[in-house]
Chains A and B, each alone.
Chain A
Amino acid sequence: MFRRVVNVAEALVALGAVAFVILLFANNPGGVAGSGSVGSELFAANCASCHGADGSGGIGPPLSGGRVLRNFPNEPDEVTFVANGRGIMPGFATALTPAQLKAVVDYTRTGLAK
């Protein structure tokens, strides 16, 4: 009886593994960060995991709705912050080029400002 339960559990988990692989490729949500400009692509790849795909926050604070502009009225200050990081926020000076840093910062100031 117990062996039968184990066999059923194994079969169900095997199905789950198949669903896992299918969903990796089939589940493609529209309208997420990463579907447009270079800045949005960089944001999706480097920032969205903490700040949310739409900048609504997560581990990191929300960035959308003009919050970035209020916290960093001057763009160079934000670039410096993103490059060097602070506290739990990692610095991206080695992961991104200066041009990429500017692109992603531009995106947070314009693409996420609405």
Chain B
Amino acid sequence: MTAPAETAQPRAGLSSTAKLLLMLVLGAAVAVALGVYANQHTPTGRKPYPLFFSGMIQLKVWFATLAVALACVQLLLAARLYGKISIPKTAPAWLGDAHRLTGTLTFAVTLPVAYQCLWGLGFETTNTRVVLHGIFGCAFYGAFVIKVLGVRLKGLPNWVLPMAGGLVFAVLVGVFLTSSVWFFTSSGQALV
């Protein structure tokens, strides 16, 4: 009796544990690098592109809100892909692509916000909310790197991708709570 070829001759390459470690290290490196940049860079204090908003903070909180809304859509699409919800009854063929697109758009929407935070403001320690916001903001991009690597790397355990996606979503909600929710409820500033 001969063993299957794949068992007899294991494929060369990284083990799933090594891939997981690589994902975590790269994700942490990105988050830490952004934090170091924000801390070391002298904030410009500039407001480069308020667009049609009355100020940069208004643009940022609305873009962050849009990012969370898109992330919620992506979460629902993921839940359908994994069979956690059954609406619609028959999953359309484009569901996976729609999940990718909403994730891409979510990331895109965060970039102008992060740029103004990192370039214009830097890492501030004025109060607990501001510190948490900075940590969540840097962690979001680290978690995003982990998620993207989780999609690209093959041979990972099945739980990795939903876990990574959940991490990205949770951190984004943290960013949202410490910025948009605070702004809408406590800042007393013009909303748009």
Chain A residue nearest to B107 (CB atoms) is A13
- In the complex, the answer to whether B104 meets A23 with C-beta atoms within 8 Å is no
Main secondary structure of the interface of B (DSSP, over half): helix
Residue of A nearest to B94 (CB): A2
Contact in complex: B45, A34 (CB < 8 Å) = yes
Decide if A20 is an interface residue (CB 8 Å cutoff): yes
Contacts of A10 in B (CB 8 A): 100, 104
Residue pair A9, B121 in contact (C-beta under 8 Å): no
Cα A52 to Cα B44 in complex, Å, equals 9
B114 adjacent to chain A (CB < 8 Å): yes
B104 touches A6 (CB 8 A): yes
Q: Evaluate contact between A90 and B43: CB separation under 8 angstroms.
A: no
Q: Please report the total number of B residues contacting A with Cβ < 8 Å.
A: 35
Decide if B97 touches A33 in the complex (CB within 8 Å). no
Is B45 in contact with A49, judged by CB distance below 8 angstroms?
Answer: yes
Q: Enumerate chain B residues within 8 angstroms of A24, measured Cβ to Cβ.
A: 37, 41, 115, 118-119
B46 touches A95 (CB 8 A): no
A59 at interface by CB-CB < 8 Å: yes
Shortest C-beta distance, A27 to chain B (Å), equals 7
Q: Which residues of A contact B (CB under 8 A)?
A: 2-3, 5-6, 9-10, 13, 16-17, 20, 23-24, 27, 29, 32-35, 41, 44-46, 48-49, 52-54, 58-59, 87-88, 90, 92, 95
